[in-house]
Amino acid sequence: MVETDYYELLGVERTADDRTLKAAYRKLAMEYHPDRQGGCKDSEAKFKAINEAYDCLKDPQKRAAYDRFGKAAFQNGGGGGSPFGEQGFDGFSDIFSSIFGDFMDPRGQRQNAARGSDLRYDLELTLEEAFHGKEASITVEALARCDTCGGKGCAKTDNCAATCKTCNGMGKVRAQQGFFVVERGCPTCRGSGEVIADPCRACEGEGRTVKRRALSVKIPAGVDEGTRIRVTGEGEAGVRGATSGDLYIFVHMKRHPIYAREGTTLVADCPVTFTTAALGGVISLPGLDGAKVDLKIPAGVQSGEQIRQRGAGMSILNSRGRGDLVARIHVETPTRMSAKQKKLLEEFRETETGDECPSAKSFFGRIKDAFGV
Distance CA 183, CA 99 (A): 13
Give the other-Cβ count within 10 Å of 85's Cβ: 10
Domain boundaries, the chain: 6-104, 119-253, 260-366
Q: Is 164 annotated as a binding residue?
A: yes
pLDDT band at residue 354 using 50, 70 and 90 as cut-offs: confident
For residues 126-161, b (16+ Cβ closer than 10 Å) or e, as one string? Answer: ebebbbebbebebebebbbbbeebebbbbbeeeebb
Distance CA 262, CA 182 (A): 48
Q: Tell me which CATH code domain 6-104 carries.
A: 1.10.287.110
Of 39, 38, 261, 252, which Cα lies nearest the Cα of 136?
Answer: 252
Question: Between the CA atoms of 252, 255, 259 and 264, what dihedral angle is there, to the nearest 10 degrees?
Answer: 10
235-261 average pLDDT score: 93
pLDDT for res 373: 64
Q: Is 167 annotated as a binding residue?
A: yes
* Helix, strand, coil content of the chain in percent (nearest 5): 30, 25, 40
pLDDT for res 344: 93
Assess whether pLDDT exceeds 90 at residue 210. Answer: yes
Assess whether pLDDT exceeds 60 at residue 121. Answer: yes
Report percent pLDDT > 70 for the chain. Answer: 85
Q: Is 200 annotated as a binding residue?
A: yes
pLDDT for res 247: 95
Q: Residue type for 182, please?
A: V
Half-sphere exposure of 54 (CA within 13 A, CB side): 25
Q: Is 186 annotated as a binding residue?
A: yes
Assess whether pLDDT exceeds 60 at residue 366. Answer: yes
Q: Tell me which CATH code domain 119-253 carries.
A: 2.10.230.10
CATH: 3.30.1490.20, 3.40.718.10, 2.40.128.20, 2.60.260.20. Which one for 260-366?
A: 2.60.260.20
Distance CA 344, CA 318 (A): 55
First to last CA, the chain: 78
> Is 6-104's fold the same as 119-253's?
no
pLDDT for res 362: 82
Q: What is the pTM of this model?
A: 0.60
pLDDT band at residue 120 using 50, 70 and 90 as cut-offs: very high
Distance CA 243, CA 235 (A): 10
- The answer to whether 272 touches 331, Cβ cutoff 8 Å, is yes
Distance CA 288, CA 322 (A): 11
pLDDT for res 157: 67
Distance CA 271, CA 351 (A): 27
Q: Is 40 annotated as a binding residue?
A: no
Of 248, 212, 246, which Cα lies nearest the Cα of 112?
Answer: 246
Q: What is the largest CA-CA distance in the chain?
A: 104
The three-state (H, E, C) secondary structure of 246-310, written as one string: CEEEEEEECCCCCCEEECCEEEEEEEEEHHHHHHCEEEEEECCCCCEEEEEECCCCCCCCEEEEC
Assess whether pLDDT exceeds 50 at residue 143. Answer: yes
Assess whether pLDDT exceeds 50 at residue 130. Answer: yes
pLDDT for res 95: 43
In the 8-state DSSP scheme, what is residue 198? Answer: S
pLDDT for res 135: 96
When mean pLDDT is compared across 4-18, 270-284, 338-352, the lowest value belongs to 4-18
Pairing of strands 194-196, 161-163: antiparallel
Assess whether pLDDT exceeds 50 at residue 55. Answer: yes
pLDDT for res 42: 76
